[in-house]
Copies of this chain bind each other. A is one copy, B any other.
Amino acid sequence: MLSNKKKYIVNGNSGIKAQIQFADQKQEFNKRPTKIGRRSLSRSISQSSTDSYSSAASYTDSSDDETSPRDKQQKNSKGSSDFCVKNIKQAEFGRREIEIAEQEMPALMALRKRAQGEKPLAGAKIVGCTHITAQTAVLMETLGALGAQCRWAACNIYSTLNEVAAALAESGFPVFAWKGESEDDFWWCIDRCVNVEGWQPNMILDDGGDLTHWIYKKYPNMFKKIKGIVEESVTGVHRLYQLSKAGKLCVPAMNVNDSVTKQKFDNLYCCRESILDGLKRTTDMMFGGKQVVVCGYGEVGKGCCAALKAMGSIVYVTEIDPICALQACMDGFRLVKLNEVIRQVDIVITCTGNKNVVTREHLDRMKNSCIVCNMGHSNTEIDVASLRTPELTWERVRSQVDHVIWPDGKRIVLLAEGRLLNLSCSTVPTFVLSITATTQALALIELYNAPEGRYKQDVYLLPKKMDEYVASLHLPTFDAHLTELTDEQAKYLGLNKNGPFKPNYYRY
């Protein structure tokens, strides 16, 4: 069952998907999934941290309202009560947030416009389970504009923006989500999306696999009408591959996690910026002249290294994969074992997808004031547990910043308790979310409109042409002008003028 919430992103030393054997998977098998903090592992869905939310200073404070939304009677202005949100009255504020997000998601807006005539999702009944933020709202309303009916729940008990949920409910979307759901609330909300008189979903948009899991478990017959699943997260995709392998996947599924645009943008380009942002917001440190070791030279590590080198840090890299290692060399980084530099570095950053990359022994040898953080995985990369021993003192000096103090007075600065720095301590630019949301929308359109037989009961990557289309929708943001092949050139290259332009194995 879906109790395994491990993230195994493709970067750094790891990057192994299908063949991963989760050692600790079985023992967790029958445990109830814990919603708390769990989703924060998934970079893709970008749970913005508390910090980042709170930075939107004028957000209305609803903390005074203690009644559970499930116990409230609320109606939107059109009289509908087919939703469950914290407070429908916050709709106006949420609407403004959505409007601001729309300005930064031109690709989805373009999609709305282009599809004004034909409605490629006419007849689609989409049940969704994602973070509920202004950006998701733009996606949801785009799906609506393309002809779909949607019902929506949150994939994380903490990440819902109540005002946005209210705005969606006000404009007629059956949304069941609020910030601070209980475990029970979580599943109740999902159930309310699915289990409804006279309406049955024919498409699933999932982020983490919980919605898919619920339907498998409670309403397996629903799959007869379902045309496909679009899954966003590494966790959910992994689960789908397992189902497929076991012959239990009963509809086509689209893995949008591994599309080029998503991988390169979420990992390389986004981390290039968020490593700086995360370190600055938590420590106010100066990068110039600092010695840094980055563990793992996958896309995430490459982004971190490039940014820190550009800011004047001296960067060392550790790797297990000789090819990535050789890239690090050619890019100008000393390739070392962690032990060789652990005494001298000012910052340790993990980006491996592995576990126990930074051990207690390493931590013991770090110099005073060394900063330790993780960009790659859940809190397994740094053996944080090993620091919870009586001889060490923990001092919380800021939100997300702990000083762990050794008996001799040495202190290391641990960020976000070893969880993902960029999700905990920085924000994710709307532009990156836009790429993901556009990919999701296109995957839904593709699956929904695919002729019988194009997709079997298996997990698919988005066709390259769609990847290219997502990219092309984002070019106007940069006032970027694409060159078109002439007929003669297309013939010479043996290409269709509209793409796809590269073979599947092209590495970019």
Contacts and interface: CB of A to CB of B under 8 A. Distances in A.
A281 B284 CA distance: 12
A337 B263 contact: no
15 contacts: A15-B503, A16-B501, A55-B398, A57-B399, A263-B507, A277-B277, A277-B280, A286-B432, A312-B331, A319-B482, A323-B471, A326-B475, A326-B478, A338-B483, A356-B486
A475 to B, nearest CB: 6
A130 to B, nearest CB: 20
A417 to B, nearest CB: 15
Interface of A: 8, 10, 13-23, 52, 55-58, 100, 103-104, 258, 260-261, 263-265, 269-270, 272-273, 276-277, 280-281, 284-291, 299, 307, 309-314, 318-338, 340, 344, 353-357, 368-369, 396-399, 426-432, 467-469, 471-472, 474-475, 477-486, 488-489, 491-495, 499, 501-508
Contacts of A491: 21, 23
A338 to B, nearest CB: 7
Nearest to A335: B480
A260 B319 contact: no
B285 A326 contact: no
A325 B20 contact: no
A93 to B, nearest CB: 11
Given A467-B323, A472-B322, A329 B480 contact: yes
Contacts of A478: 289-291, 326, 329, 335
Given A329-B480, A472-B322, A494 B16 contact: yes
Contacts of A477: 289
Given A19-B495, A22-B494, 20 more contacts: A16-B493, A16-B502, A16-B503, A21-B494, A264-B507, A265-B326, A269-B286, A270-B286, A273-B311, A277-B277, A289-B329, A310-B310, A319-B483, A322-B472, A322-B499, A323-B468, A323-B508, A326-B471, A326-B474, A337-B482
Nearest to A284: B427
A198 to B, nearest CB: 40
A121 B430 CA distance: 56
A51 to B, nearest CB: 9
A23 to B, nearest CB: 5
A225 B404 CA distance: 50
Copies in the complex: 4
Nearest to A331: B312
A331 B323 CA distance: 23
Contacts of A52: 284
Nearest to A299: B507
A-B complex: 9 closest residue pairs judged by Cβ atoms: A310-B310, A335-B480, A286-B429, A322-B472, A289-B329, A322-B471, A288-B330, A21-B494, A321-B501
Contact of A479 (B291, B309, B480, B485): B291
Nearest to A344: B479
A270 B289 CA distance: 12
A501 B273 contact: no
A446 to B, nearest CB: 17
B18 A288 contact: no
A323 B16 contact: no
A468 B277 CA distance: 32
Given A332-B312, A489-B356, A502-B15, A323 B261 contact: yes
Given A23-B492, A432-B286, A485-B320, A314 B333 contact: yes
A332 B309 contact: yes
B280 A354 contact: no
Contacts of A20: 493-494
B288 A273 contact: yes
Nearest to A330: B288
Contact of A502 (B321, B337, B467): B321
Nearest to A281: B281
A337 B480 contact: no
Nearest to A501: B321
Q: Which of A322, A499, A502 has the most CB of B within 10 A?
A: A322
